[in-house]
Amino acid sequence: MEGINVTHSALSILWFTGDQPIVGEILRLNDGGEVGLDWLEDNCSSDAPVIIILPGLTGASQAEYVKCLTLAANQIGIRIVVFNNRGLGGLILKTPRIYCAANSEDLEEVIKHVHSRNPNVKIGAIGISMGGLILGNYLASKQIATRKFLTAAMLISVPWNVFKGTESIEKPIFNLLLNKHLSRTIREFDATFTVKQFGFKDIDDYYTQATMHEKLHLIKIPLLCLNAADDPFQPFDAVPLEAARISKFVAIMMTARGGHIGFLEGIWPLVRDQYISRVFAQYFGAVFRNEADILDITEQYH
């Protein structure tokens, strides 16, 4: 693909999930930056669907929730590629630029690259926490590309309203000192670095552009969202349930418990068999099996 240079790391097997090898790929972007793409394709057919996973703020392929989803997909014959942002997952920064919740340019290149490798294959995407903001903003702002490249998408623990999310973690609910430190650190970093690097007017401008709760009407492919009512990063009243209710494409599932990317079950929760992995596998499995019917339905609303 013009403008994109793909190289493989010297050690192509970066990490293992159980007995399944994850093959690492370094994707060089148009501005010279690099992101990591970790593929799990073992035991899957060459024409099996592919799901792109976008981890959270500092997450990468080694995050437990990513491994959980990766295993769930592999067990039903779906290929996975984990999108590790610049500077994460062992990558060295090649440019001063990193990433932010309101900018989906790197994701655009990743999706085009995945499609170029799999031109006749169904592709889905799932974003977790900040990864959900990046994916959600891509879906809302790139409607034509979204419909061209993606069959369906899913968001987990996305902070719909960044303003309310920041206010929430500043409240003295749990671990007061930790929450204050965390919120202050995030605000200060965004104000002094992210805002300047990506050309926002100020931190309010950045958070406004990153916020998703008023953009659901712009999303035009099937999107399932999973949130917990007790998520400290997103208060219940900030979840756009009414907007989802009237949307033809977006559904929001709310659980009473689950925290932020938690959703654990039982006294001794196991990473490999959890609520998020079951919902994830059931949703994408059903979407990929019934793509023709879904396309017929969604075409009626475009």
Among residues 176, 210, 244, the one where a domain terminates is: 210
| Chain position carrying tokens 């989802």 | 244
Q: What pLDDT is attached to residue 52?
A: 99
129 is a catalytic site residue: yes
98 and 178 belong to one structural domain: no
State how far the Cα of 104 lies from the Cα of 158, in Å rounded to an integer. Answer: 15
193 and 223 belong to one structural domain: no
Among residues 172, 193, 210, the one where a domain terminates is: 210
Least confident of 259-263, 268-272, 296-300: 268-272
241 and 175 belong to one structural domain: no
State how far the Cα of 31 lies from the Cα of 260, in Å rounded to an integer. Answer: 33
State how far the Cα of 16 lies from the Cα of 86, in Å rounded to an integer. Answer: 21
Least confident of 152-156, 187-191, 271-275: 271-275
299 SS3 class: helix
* Domain that includes residue 197, residue range: 162-210
Report the CATH number at residue 250: 3.40.50.1820
241 and 206 belong to one structural domain: no
59 and 180 belong to one structural domain: no
Of 240 and 174, the structure prediction assigns the larger pLDDT to 240
Least confident of 13-27, 49-63, 90-104, 206-220: 13-27
Q: What pLDDT is attached to residue 170?
A: 65
pTM, rounded to two decimals: 0.87
Least confident of 65-69, 227-231, 291-295: 291-295
Q: What percent of the chain has pLDDT over 70?
A: 83
64 and 145 belong to one structural domain: yes
Least confident of 42-56, 80-94, 156-170: 156-170
Stretch (H or E) spanning 7: strand 5-17
Say if residue 4's pLDDT is above 60.
no
> Which among 115, 85, 82 is positioned nearest to 101, based on CA atoms?
85
Catalytic residue, from 129, 157, 168, 247: name it: 129
Question: Strand 34-40 to strand 20-28: parallel, antiparallel, or no bridges (unpaired)?
Answer: antiparallel
Among residues 192, 210, 228, the one where a domain terminates is: 210
121 and 261 belong to one structural domain: yes
Catalytic residue, from 113, 115, 213, 260: name it: 260
237 and 195 belong to one structural domain: no
Q: Which amino acid is at 103?
A: N
Q: What pLDDT is attached to residue 14?
A: 38
134 and 268 belong to one structural domain: yes
**Cα 84 vs. chain centroid, distance in angstroms?**
10
173 and 36 belong to one structural domain: no
> Which among 190, 179, 120 is positioned nearest to 149, based on CA atoms?
120
176 and 32 belong to one structural domain: no
**Residues 6 or more apart from 123 whose CB is under 8 A from it?**
49, 50, 51, 52, 111, 114, 115, 149, 150, 151
User: What is the average per-residue pLDDT within 282-286?
Assistant: 96
Say if residue 203's pLDDT is above 80.
yes
pLDDT tens per residue, range 153-165: 999 999 999 988 8
Count CB atoms within 10 A of the CB of residue 16. Answer: 11
State how far the Cα of 85 lies from the Cα of 64, in Å rounded to an integer. Answer: 17
Say if residue 204's pLDDT is above 80.
yes
Of 151 and 173, the structure prediction assigns the larger pLDDT to 151
Of 67 and 112, the structure prediction assigns the larger pLDDT to 112
Say if residue 229's pLDDT is above 90.
yes
Catalytic residue, from 38, 183, 231, 247: name it: 231
How high does pLDDT run on average in the chain? 86
Complete DSSP assignment for 24-57? EEEEE-TTS-EEEEEEE-TTS-TT--EEEEE--T
Q: What percent of the chain has pLDDT over 90?
A: 63
151 and 170 belong to one structural domain: no
Of 109 and 11, the structure prediction assigns the larger pLDDT to 109
Of 59 and 216, the structure prediction assigns the larger pLDDT to 216
Of 226 and 274, the structure prediction assigns the larger pLDDT to 226
Tally of domains in the chain: 2
Complete DSSP assignment for 158-203? --S-HHHHHHHHHSSSSSHHHHHHHHHHHHHHIIIIIHHHHT-SSH
Q: What pLDDT is attached to residue 151?
A: 95
